[in-house]
Chain A
């Protein structure tokens, strides 16, 4: 079928929403509560558009595209509606962007900037929740929560953990664990998917605090060093420092998902305990050595053993965590240089 968006005729398929078609054709429509892959809730209304023949503005995330539909994404009426929503959200949102971890990567901040909302014209009640710093991974500041409920949906519908839901009603509505306990006392598994979904500064990575701004970091895709699923990570780096890790959205196989180890288990590479120089045992303890000395010692000892006892008197195990190229290289050393097939790794044990 065909629909018209801002004057452009666009191809649309059965089941696609107006938002899907608009995005596929390069039209910008902001969203706050929309989550790709899940049934839209149409809760935040920031994605409203004007549709010819319809009296009210339509939430594009939940409006199915229909044949001949004529859509406008940027009329004054649309922008006014969005501006009003942002003003409402800002009316009870702390404006501490200067120190907020989310600055530069905050959808609400971007929308306020885009729509020219400087401060709210509405004065009302503010939240006064204590900020939860009780665990080392996730900072929870519900003063900044805009109740888009993405965190609740990813926890329940994507990760299937069901650790958080909303409690209370009206202005007091709040995302919480059962009995509003800290996460570590709930069935939360610290996958941090809620943090990745949060469009504002309500949920942030504690380890990232103070390490760098969104615009200072470069993003590098890599593969998780833990289990065999092979999740695709996006490292957010400032210099050599990982500021935080998120999942590559739509990357195979994890499609934007991670677990606690993949998301938060990275600091070991910076540990003070790292081995930094070759060590040789001497008189019962280790002394530092140069690479030349250590490698000569290994090569000479191997040569001596091969000469005295044959190559099969040497054996080795490779590492199932390191890269393929390292394992290839080690088995080549054993087979082609030492002359033995005594090479194995931990797959069997």
Chain B
């Protein structure tokens, strides 16, 4: 997030696109609701009329995967009617002309045709965005989980640059992170192209810095594989050993049959986890790990805030802290690492090596955490980025992007579009919530379908239906709801039985290799 949760309550305006905040980030949504009570405006763009949509001043029910067409159409109106922030665009941004040329290809009529949102509403949204400033743009996986995910993100950034909604409180581009420490895992360099603190592995100076810090002769100089590539490489044996730490890939990745084929092809699979999972079934070695509450460390939240996590109990049996396990493997492979606890790793290594984290020390985050960038120990942390329109690259860069349809669209045989996500009462593959009594509130998966489709197909509430895609099929109860438009099925991936991932399509955004969980074609029939 460029901005912070603390700015929600004072925001004047929100544009929420592809975020089911009340279910996936419930506490964040309470601050948004508080702002609405104080008169803030809300525009919601989402294929589902989810709870946020019901609170919206304007709700745009776009078709699945039409985000760029909608946003380009919106920006077409903003540019053509001269409603954009000319000062910000001229002085703080680059590449406006090329961007404008692309936007001119998306008159609102075309945007309306692709997105299903009528021209009048697109204009209304443009006018509201132009008159109430700044607006916080929030998104979640509804933007990223598409084959056009990266371009979708660019498009949201284009809009905020155009409106000049950057570099000030209660503004910005704000992706809400789905898991407690996705932000932190990125910051730590658990990515194939960057060291901790986003220092590029292809940069010789960065490699030299880390070679010195880690006391090794030569660090690898090419970007590594991204997760889907790793898994595909298990099949052709290019990857012989696969180390899976705390991930239940057999349930979370698209097309479970494909994933399980890949996992079962591994010559040597190491799983490090707190529970046996569907993934550990394929392991050759399972290493039992300490969980939350059993180790001292930090999580970094969506708002770049580094927060303390504290040990209050010992791990069960012989389970060990994860950092210890990695250290012991390193030792057996010839390297002795000095740091011997979470706090030592952070204070002596992470915050020394990652410039944006340089000022964050355990002694400073006893209570409220600190938000990076925080370059030195006198720095108070940063609640919003790009202050006064000063960007990492100097100026903000407009990226002209084109709309493309999802990889698989409904046809005669598979006439519904399936979109997926999370539900309030469960979390991911239920390794945690399934063992905490939350099944009481959500005991099984459902296929959410519209009233019109249910009537047409003669499906009654809670009746069992079969949902089929080209990859597989599941049998679940039908949940008939006004949240879902005709022609759409919505499901989650919490339950192994009836998981949407038996159906989802393993196609990826070409740059990020994020899978298109939000769109594939399915058929629905009564059982």
A residues within 8 Å of B by Cβ? 135-137, 157-160, 184, 189-191, 207, 220-232, 235, 237, 240, 242, 251-254, 257-262, 264-269, 271, 273-281, 286, 291, 294-303, 305, 309, 311-349
Whether B409 is near chain A, meaning CB under 8 Å from some CB there, is no
Bound CA–CA A344/B201 (angstroms) = 13
Is residue B240 contacting chain A, with contact meaning CB distance below 8 A? yes
Bound-state Cα–Cα, A327 to B272, Å: 13
- Nearest A residue (CB) for B422: A227
> Smallest CB–CB gap between A345 and chain B, Å?
4
Q: Flag if A227 contacts B25 (CB, 8 Å).
A: yes
B289-326 residues with Cβ-Cβ distance < 8 A to A are 289, 291-295, 297-303, 305-310, 312-314, 316-323, 325-326
- A residues within 8 A CB of B342? 323, 325
Q: Are A302 and B333 in contact (CB under 8 A)?
A: yes
What's the least CB distance linking B70 to chain A, in Å? 24
Given A230-B299, A298-B270, A349 contacting B185 (CB threshold 8 A): no
Q: Please name 8 pairs of A and B residues whose Cβ atoms are closer than 8 Å in the assembled complex, sorted by A.
A: A227-B176, A314-B243, A317-B190, A318-B245, A323-B298, A330-B190, A345-B190, A346-B252
User: In angstroms, how far is the closest chain B Cβ from the Cβ of A211?
Assistant: 14
Contact indicator B441/A299 (Cβ below 8 Å): no
| Residues of chain B with a CB closer than 8 A to A327's CB | 181, 184-185, 188-190
- Cα-based distance from A295 to B432 in the complex (angstroms): 26
| Chain A residues in 8 Å Cβ range of B191 | 331, 343-345, 347
Contacts of A309 in B (CB 8 A): 240
Contact of B438 among A253, A264, A346 (CB under 8 A): A264
Q: How far is the CA of A319 from the CA of B299 in the complex (A)?
A: 12
Contact across chains for A229 and B322 when beta carbons are under 8 A apart = no
Q: Is B481 an interface residue (CB 8 A)?
A: no
Select which of B6, B183, B201, B326 is within 8 A of A329 by beta carbon.
Answer: B326
Q: What's the Cα separation between A275 and B319 when bound, in Å?
A: 7
A-B contact count (CB 8 A): 455
Q: How far is the CA of A189 from the CA of B294 in the complex (A)?
A: 29
**B→A interface (CB under 8 Å):** 4-6, 24-30, 33-34, 36-37, 176-193, 195-196, 201, 210, 214, 216, 218-220, 222-228, 230, 233, 238-247, 249, 252-254, 267-268, 270, 273-276, 283-289, 291-295, 297-303, 305-310, 312-314, 316-323, 325-330, 332-335, 337, 342, 345-346, 349-350, 367-369, 424-425, 427, 431-438, 440-441, 512-515
- On chain A, the residues within 8 Å of B286 by CB distance are 275, 278-280, 286
Measured in the bound complex, the distance between the Cα atoms of B301 and A320 in whole Å is: 11
Tell me if B276 and A253 are in contact (CB < 8 A).
no
How far apart sit A21 and B37, CA to CA, in the bound complex (Å)?
A: 27
By CB atoms of chain A within 10 A, which of B295, B301, B424 has the most? B301
| Chain B residues whose CB sits within 8 angstroms of the CB of A313 once the complex forms | 238-241
Alpha-carbon distance between A334 and B193 when the two chains are bound, in angstroms: 12
Q: B292's closest neighbor in chain A, by CB?
A: A225
B27 & A261 in contact (Cβ 8 Å cutoff) = no
Is A348's CB under 8 angstroms from B241's CB? no
- Residue contact B427 to A265, C-beta cutoff 8 Å: yes
Contact among B177, B178, B367 with A251 in the assembled complex (CB-CB below 8 Å): B367
Complex-state Cα separation, A136 to B180, whole angstroms: 25
Give which listed residue, A251, A303, A319, A339, contacts B185 with CB less than 8 A.
Answer: A319
* Chain A residue nearest to B275 in the complex (CB): A273
A317 & B230 in contact (Cβ 8 Å cutoff): yes
Q: Are B185 and A318 closer than 8 Å at their CB atoms? A: yes
CA A259 to CA B25, docked complex, whole Å: 9
B220 touches A253 (CB 8 A): no
> 4 smallest A-B Cβ distances: which pairs?
A276-B317, A230-B301, A323-B297, A319-B246
CB distance from B6 to the nearest CB of A (A): 6
A322–B246 touching, CB < 8 Å: yes
Write out the residue numbers on chain A whose beta carbons fall within 8 Å of the beta carbon of B335.
336-337
Question: Which residue in A184, A271, A276, A324 is a CB contact (below 8 Å) of B187?
Answer: A324
Q: Which of A269, A291, A312, A326 has the largest count of B CB atoms less than 10 A from its CB?
A: A326
Q: Are B438 and A323 in contact (CB under 8 A)?
A: no
Choose one: B216, B283, B285, B346; the contact of A324 (CB below 8 Å).
Answer: B346
Q: What's the Cα separation between A343 and B201 when bound, in Å?
A: 12
A contact residues around B244 at 8 Å (CB): 316-317
Q: Among B184, B274, B312, B327, which residue has the most Cβ atoms of chain A within 10 A?
A: B184
Given A220-B310, A268-B435, A305 contacting B240 (CB threshold 8 A): yes
Whole-angstrom distance from the CB of A320 to the nearest CB of chain B?
Answer: 4
Q: Which residues of B contact A339 (CB under 8 A)?
A: 218-220
Q: Do A277 and B317 form a contact, CB below 8 Å, given A252-B6, A265-B436, A321-B181?
A: yes
Q: What residues on B are CB-neighbors of A302 within 8 Å?
A: 241, 329, 333
